[in-house]
A = this chain, B = another copy of it.
Amino acid sequence: MAPPKQEPIHRNTLGMINIDPLQTGGRLPKVARETLMEWADGYSICDYCTGRLDKIATPPVRDFIHGELPDFLGMDEVRVTNGAREAKFIVMHSLCKPGDKVVVDANAHYTTFLCAERCEAEAVIVPSSGRPDYRVDPSGYNEAIDEADPELAVLTWPDGKYGNLADAKEVARICRDKGVPLLLNGAYAVGRMPVDGNRIGCSFISASGHKSMASSGPIGLLGASGEYADLVFRTSKTYDKKEVELLGCTARGSTLMTMMASFPHVLERVGNWGAEVEKARWFSSRMEEMGMVQMGQKPHNHDLMFFETPPFYEISKTAKGGRYFLYRELKKRGIHGIKPGLTKFFKLSTFGVPEGDLEKVLNAFSEMIRSNG
């Protein structure tokens, strides 16, 4: 008997306009897809391995990790990791003992808190200004550090809720003055906009390939300043080539090949960041004309935006499907990325989405408002 014909698992959002902030910076250019097809098999990247991922010459991993990436991030040493969260954990696990403290901005991603919890460290929060700006004032780091005497400070730049870009340089200055290393979590920055660790003066940068560097997930980066590189990338006592916190090798496969293949495309789009910010501001103003209220910094400096959406909340009170009406109406129009059930507020991203597609999104919103009186 012949085995049943196996169907590929389909992704039904392909071809839709996707404005989910998780998705807009992770789309692969054609060259990365072509590369992926050649390197899709398991451990393909290890054909010519001589013992460590970042030293592989063929494919040119070594040049990428030790040449291009440090320049790109403005950090002395860079390694690939399995994601931004794994990069943050490497830093905390290297610096913190149980009971130690980590100062973290109030808008931080949940994984920052999980990393601290996994190390049995305590997260001490730098507050935000709350609604509507949710601004993190650098001076909050002053107070939190004085109070907590932490081993590490973290700034989420931008945060993944409101897309706010706090004054990282000033936060870094404060941390340096107090002798506390600063980890800049750039999961939504690196690969979208220019980020220069040297200029900012941070000790670490974490980045996300699947979120913002047009890479297949999961993959990330950890950049470290010379002062801390030997600590976080320390080698084993028994296997002197192998880096302990990386368990030898991290993103050992197709994920890294897509990041490398996408890199020229990423460099190009980072150079085009000004236009992305303009587009986000235009989109925000159009949303506000319809009665939505953009939270966070204004004018906004990033493609990730959070809107309060009172018109949709009003509609949901009487609409067929209740609070799911918005999701359904968008789906009908080929638009994906607003979480099902949300009508009071939602976040979205305009990054890399053509203006014509954003017009369709805006038209969809305005039609719904019009047709519901």
Contacts and interface: CB of A to CB of B under 8 A. Distances in A.
A248 B110 contact: yes
A13 B47 contact: yes
A253 interface: yes
Given A248-B114, A253-B210, A255-B254, A11 B59 contact: yes
A80 to B, nearest CB: 11
Interface in A240-258: 242, 244-245, 247-248, 250-255, 257-258
Nearest to A98: B97
A310 B73 CA distance: 50
Q: Which of A47, A86, A247, A250 has the most CB of B within 10 A?
A: A247
Nearest to A45: B217
A118 interface: yes
Q: Which of A20, A23, A43, A258 has the most CB of B within 10 A?
A: A43
A110 B59 CA distance: 24
Interface stretch (A30-38, A143-151, A284-292): A30-38
A94 B93 CA distance: 14
A244 B258 CA distance: 28
B9 A236 contact: no
Interface string A79-106: 0001101100100010000000000000
Contacts of A11: 38-39, 44, 47, 59
A8 B31 contact: yes
Given A9-B260, A20-B47, A216 B118 contact: no
A41 B216 contact: yes
B117 A85 contact: no
Interface in A1-40: 3-4, 6-14, 18, 20, 22-23, 25-29, 31-40
Contact of A85 (B18, B216, B238, B247): B247
A248 B218 CA distance: 13
A248 B85 contact: yes
B59 A41 contact: no
Nearest to A237: B117
A184 to B, nearest CB: 18
A9 B261 contact: yes
B253 A217 contact: yes
A45 to B, nearest CB: 7
Contact of A247 (B60, B114, B253, B268): B114
Contacts of A14: 38
Contacts of A255: 216-218, 253-255
Contacts of A86: 82, 247
Given A8-B38, A23-B41, 5 more contacts: A6-B261, A28-B42, A86-B247, A114-B247, A217-B253
11 contacts: A8-B32, A8-B261, A23-B41, A40-B216, A42-B214, A43-B210, A114-B242, A114-B247, A114-B248, A115-B247, A255-B255
Interface of A: 3-4, 6-14, 18, 20, 22-23, 25-29, 31-47, 58-60, 82-83, 85-86, 89, 93, 110-111, 113-115, 117-118, 209-211, 214-218, 236-239, 242, 244-245, 247-248, 250-255, 257-258, 260-261, 264-265, 268, 336
